[in-house]
Amino acid sequence: MRNFKGAIFDLDGTLLDSMWIWDQIDIDFLAKRGFEVPEDYQRSIATMNSHETAVYTIKRFGLDEEPEELVREWLDMAKDAYANRLELKEGAYDYVRSLYEEGIRMSVATASDLELVLPALKRTGLFSMLDHVITVREVSRGKGFPDIYLESAARLGLDPGDCVVYEDILEGICAAKTGGFRTVAIREDCNSSSWEQIRKKADRSITSFRELISEGVTITI
């Protein structure tokens, strides 16, 4: 893989070790309403923003609630963890710092709400190194499509071919490839069942950002 000028990072499960909190929120939220979490639930909502997830959840479980009520409950449940407890994945800070020092333009492209994302990015020290943060609410379609990565690259002032997208979900890797980006897949335990598919689709796959730190802006395929 040749040198690149821009890095576009997913947040949850990629830079931030946060998927466990969403697993617990799903368990607690649905248990409160008398349901267990279906095996395919997380996979089904992986590319959706919070409003789309709420609409899907209401329809799937026949809930007599409004999407805004679900979104607010989820945000309230997650707020403390994002603001105070969640940690970066191994090597993430050092890798982002190494790219920043080499002048690489960087962004976070996330399906999570800014209300959660910004406190976590600021607390972990990443925010000041980013050019921008974009959420799927700002584009027409979710992470099953390249929209968020294309918009992120445009805001960085770069062509897709000059950027690398870092993701932990198969849908994100596939969408980024469709958009003309090079991709690095980061292993996340909750996506272990699809890891072989993810690994084969991505240009490079890693289990820790420490594998990339010495490579800088040239990632070996």
- Domain check: are 195 and 135 in the same one? yes
110 and 79 share one domain? no
pLDDT in tens, 131-143: 999 999 999 998 9
Same domain, 106 and 198: yes
Measured between alpha carbons, how far is 210 from 94 in angstroms, rounded to an integer? 8
Question: What pLDDT digit, counting tens, does each position of 2-17 carry?
Answer: 689 999 999 999 999 9
pLDDT band at 191 (very low <50, low <70, confident <90, very high): confident
Query: Under 8 Å CB-to-CB from 28, ≥6 apart: which residues?
Result: 77
In a domain, 218, yes or no: no
- What six digits make up the tokens of 179? 């958009």
Say if residue 83 is exposed, middle or buried (CB neighbours under 10 Å; 0-12, 13-18, 19+).
Answer: middle
Q: Which structural domain, as residue segments, surrounds residue 42?
A: 19-85
| CA angle (204, 210, 215) in 5-degree steps | 60
pTM of the entire structure? 0.88
pLDDT at 205 over 90: yes
pLDDT single digits (tens) 65-84 = 999 999 999 999 999 999 99
Q: What are phi and psi of 167, to 5 degrees?
A: -145, 160
For residue 2, the model assigns a pLDDT of 65
Which residue among 47, 64, 85 closes a domain? 85
- 12 and 96 part of one domain: yes
